[in-house]
């Protein structure tokens, strides 16, 4: 093993009366790829600031190898408003004009973009360019995927896989961490626990630790307190909940697939009557352009009660435009949209614009006074309800502006999920949330009996929640695929690499639709399907061995120093193997569900 370029020894830090760290030891070698995980408030960002030299420890030592360059991207960057993006990125020591342009080009930011007019996604990309342009020995990124679209996240994954230095990451994006990291530091109750494997192995490992502690260490009675039991016990219970959740999700996806299949046949065969009586939203051949730029062209869908629809696409591709058309806030240029009369929607936006920052949490839930609120038709005490979202009782009387970004998002979720609504619209709900809150949100959305429209870049979240995915594919092409993000990749036969958008935009033309006859429903699965049911488990087992072998090789930190090209190639092979395994598992499940439906 190579000598560490960064070491933390016996670090202690308290903020006010709250002890964040005690006896923290951490070692980082060249080419390490590690993530720091833990619930909101555990001190992840503070630990990263401490390494960056922005916070001083109360006790302990930090050793940084001489000449080591560290670049840090904070969760909420503060930009000098008077500069352009290029001026900001190149105004750093040892950053050349060419390197600054290269970093901005990779992230799709114009050189002359004013820092005063950045959107959330643009601000995140400029901040990434600022950090990556330094070509540091240690690159630290705090929530780098927030506000980024899926294609930019995939580009970032590839860039980080080929990065020659050490990586320290904080992110709520499980797929991103699983694809990039080879080491995990769990910040748990002031201690750092180290797993010499990437995040993909974290939950099983953490569940085993929690289970052992709860059995063998009676002295840690705090584990059975409600808040701690919820946050840490959630790790060990998550796998069991996921089994039941996914079983129901697959059933809903199967129903949605049948709806989409029938809808496509109805569009092609005028003799078939569409069953629109159950539709909450019935959109037919809708199109929308702005000038010569076509965002949506001839898109048709029906959304019925209980559907959970995800919408994905690059930033600026028209996701918000489509969403506003579907909920009746924006009229299409052509086509028709029929919206049910009994819809009672609630909207949660990514900018937290619905929060009055001067009000306390208590006043927000009880604007007319009192101490009880109506949660989905049931009376709950405001303190008890806030506890379910990891708020301490004393925070109930605090103004909202004192909350962190993640806490504000949790508050919005608590408000949205308390409302008696049959139609929920969520715009990037996972930003700034920790893993436990994400899991809690997934559970509550799976229990939600209404209809859900969800815009998100979080691939794992989409896979765990939605019944179908609407994809903005560019040039006005909008397609809907049954299932989550991985189902979309498989059905579209699209490579996970970042696709460059077409240079030329098209105006929405009107096209004639061919008429075809409905095919007869099969009575049994084909021989090809029967063969696949036998062979797919063998392929999955073989891929498990390949993945284990690659992860073993990548677990050797010295590999990156000895042969960085081989390490990069192995990282790409690992991503490909995991993606292929996911596709095989999904294919087997769908064939098995088809077989059962024909019995």
Q: Alpha-carbon distance 69 to 599, whole Å? A: 64
Residues contacting 187, CB < 8 A, separation 6+: 36, 37, 38, 42, 43, 44, 47
What does the angle CA 502 – CA 173 – CA 223 come to, to the nearest 5 degrees? 170
Helix, coil or strand: residue 350: coil
| Residue 324 Ramachandran class (φ > 0 left, ψ -120 to 50 alpha, else beta) | alpha
What does the angle CA 23 – CA 72 – CA 103 come to, to the nearest 5 degrees? 155
Q: How many CB atoms lie within 10 A of CB 563?
A: 12
Helix segments in 318-377, DSSP class H: 319-326, 361-365
Handedness of CA 571, 576, 579, 581 (dihedral sign): negative
Q: Alpha-carbon distance 437 to 563, whole Å? A: 39
User: What distances in angstroms separate CA 56 from CA 11, 14, 26, 189, 512, one per listed residue?
Assistant: 10, 10, 16, 20, 68
The candidate with the shortest Cα–Cα distance to 395, out of 371, 386, 368, 19, is 386
Tokens of 459: 């691939």
The pLDDT tens digits of the residues spanning 161-177 come to 889 899 999 998 999 99
**In this predicted structure, what is the pLDDT of residue 243?**
56
Q: Alpha-carbon distance 525 to 569, whole Å? A: 39
Return per-residue pLDDT of the chain as tens, 599 residues.
Answer: 578 899 999 998 887 667 788 888 888 998 899 999 987 777 888 899 999 999 999 999 999 999 999 999 998 888 887 899 999 999 998 899 999 999 999 888 999 999 988 877 888 899 999 999 999 999 999 999 988 888 889 989 999 988 989 999 999 899 999 999 999 999 887 778 889 999 999 988 988 887 776 665 444 343 334 334 444 444 455 555 555 665 666 666 666 666 655 455 444 343 333 443 467 899 999 999 988 889 999 999 988 888 899 999 988 888 888 988 998 889 999 999 998 877 777 877 655 556 888 899 999 999 888 889 888 778 889 998 888 887 888 888 888 888 877 778 788 888 877 877 788 888 888 877 777 778 878 887 877 778 899 898 889 889 888 989 999 998 899 999 988 888 888 888 654 444 443 344 455 555 444 554 444 555 677 877 788 888 888 888 888 888 888 878 876 767 766 777 787 778 778 877 887 887 787 777 777 767 766 66
Cβ-count burial 284-297 (b if 16+ within 10 Å, e if not): bbbbbbeeeebbbb
The pLDDT tens digits of the residues spanning 202-215 come to 988 988 887 776 66
Maximum distance among all Cα pairs of the chain, rounded to whole angstroms: 77
**In this predicted structure, what is the pLDDT of residue 560?**
62
The candidate with the shortest Cα–Cα distance to 257, out of 594, 566, 554, 528, is 594
Domains of the chain from N-terminus onward: 6-224 (3.40.50.300), 244-344+422-428+442-519 (3.40.50.300), 351-420 (no CATH), 527-597 (1.10.287)
Tokens of 590: 């769908």
| Residue 4 Ramachandran class (φ > 0 left, ψ -120 to 50 alpha, else beta) | beta
User: Which position has the token pair 């009229």?
Assistant: 331
């Amino acid at each position: 093993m190579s000598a560490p370029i960064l070491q933390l020894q016996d670090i202690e830090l308290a903020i006010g009366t709250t002890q964040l760290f005690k006896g923290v030891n951490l070692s980082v070698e060249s080419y390490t790829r590690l993530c720091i995980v833990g619930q909101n408030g555990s001190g992840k960002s503070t630990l990263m600031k401490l390494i960056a030299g922005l916070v001083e420890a109360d006790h302990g030592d930090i050793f940084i190898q001489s000449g080591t360059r560290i670049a840090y991207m904070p969760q909420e960057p503060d930009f000098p408003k008077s500069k352009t993006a290029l001026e900001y990125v190149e105004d750093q020591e040892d950053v050349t004009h060419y390197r600054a342009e290269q970093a901005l080009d990779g992230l799709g930011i114009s050189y002359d973009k004013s820092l005063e007019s950045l959107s959330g996604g643009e601000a995140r990309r400029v901040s990434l360019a600022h950090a990556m342009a330094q070509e540091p020995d240690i690159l630290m990124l705090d929530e780098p995927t927030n506000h980024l679209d899926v294609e930019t996240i995939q580009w970032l994954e590839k860039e980080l896989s080929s990065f020659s230095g050490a990586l320290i990451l904080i992110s709520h994006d499980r797929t991103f961490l699983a694809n990039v990291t080879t080491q995990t530091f769990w910040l748990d109750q002031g201690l750092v626990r180290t797993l010499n494997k990437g995040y993909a192995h974290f939950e099983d490992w953490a569940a085993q630790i929690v289970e052992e502690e709860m059995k063998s260490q009676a002295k840690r009675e705090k584990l059975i307190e409600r808040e701690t039991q919820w946050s840490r016990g959630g790790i060990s219970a998550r796998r069991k909940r996921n089994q039941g959740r996914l079983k129901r999700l697959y059933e809903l996806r199967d129903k949605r697939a049948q709806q989409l299949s029938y809808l496509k046949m109805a569009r092609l065969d005028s003799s078939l009557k569409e069953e629109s009586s159950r539709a909450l939203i019935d959109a037919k051949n809708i199109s929308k352009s702005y000038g010569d730029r076509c965002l949506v062209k001839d898109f048709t869908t029906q959304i019925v009660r209980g559907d959970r629809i995800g919408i994905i696409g690059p930033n600026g591709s028209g996701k918000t435009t489509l969403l506003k058309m579907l909920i009746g806030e924006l009229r299409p240029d052509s086509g028709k949209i029929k919206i049910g009369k009994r819809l009672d929607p609630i909207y949660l936006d990514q900018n937290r614009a619905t929060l009055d920052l001067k009000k306390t949490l208590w006043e927000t839930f009880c604007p007319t006074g009192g101490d009880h609120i109506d949660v989905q038709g049931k009376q709950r005490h405001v303190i008890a309800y806030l506890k379910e979202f990891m708020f301490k009782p004393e925070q109930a009387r605090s103004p909202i502006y004192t909350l962190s970004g993640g806490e504000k998002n949790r508050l919005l979720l608590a408000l949205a999920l308390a409302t008696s609504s049959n139609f929920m619209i969520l715009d990037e709900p996972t930003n700034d949330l920790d893993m436990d809150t994400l899991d809690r949100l997934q559970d509550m959305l799976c229990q939600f009996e209404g209809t859900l429209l969800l815009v998100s870049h979080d691939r794992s979240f989409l896979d765990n929640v939605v019944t179908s995915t609407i994809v903005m594919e560019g040039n006005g092409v909008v397609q809907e695929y049954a299932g989550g993000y991985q189902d979309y990749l498989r059905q579209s036969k699209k490579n996970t690499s970042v696709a460059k958008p077409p240079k030329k935009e098209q105006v929405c033309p009107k096209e004639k639709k061919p008429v075809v006859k409905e095919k007869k429903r099969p009575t049994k699965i084909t021989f090809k399907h029967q063969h696949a049911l036998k062979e797919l488990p063998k392929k999955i087992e073989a891929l498990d061995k390949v993945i284990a072998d690659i992860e073993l090789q990548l677990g050797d930190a010295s590999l990156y120093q000895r042969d960085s090209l081989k390490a990069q190639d192995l990282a790409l092979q690992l991503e490909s193997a995991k993606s292929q395994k996911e596709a095989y598992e999904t294919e087997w499940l769908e064939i098995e569900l088809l077989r059962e439906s024909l019995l």
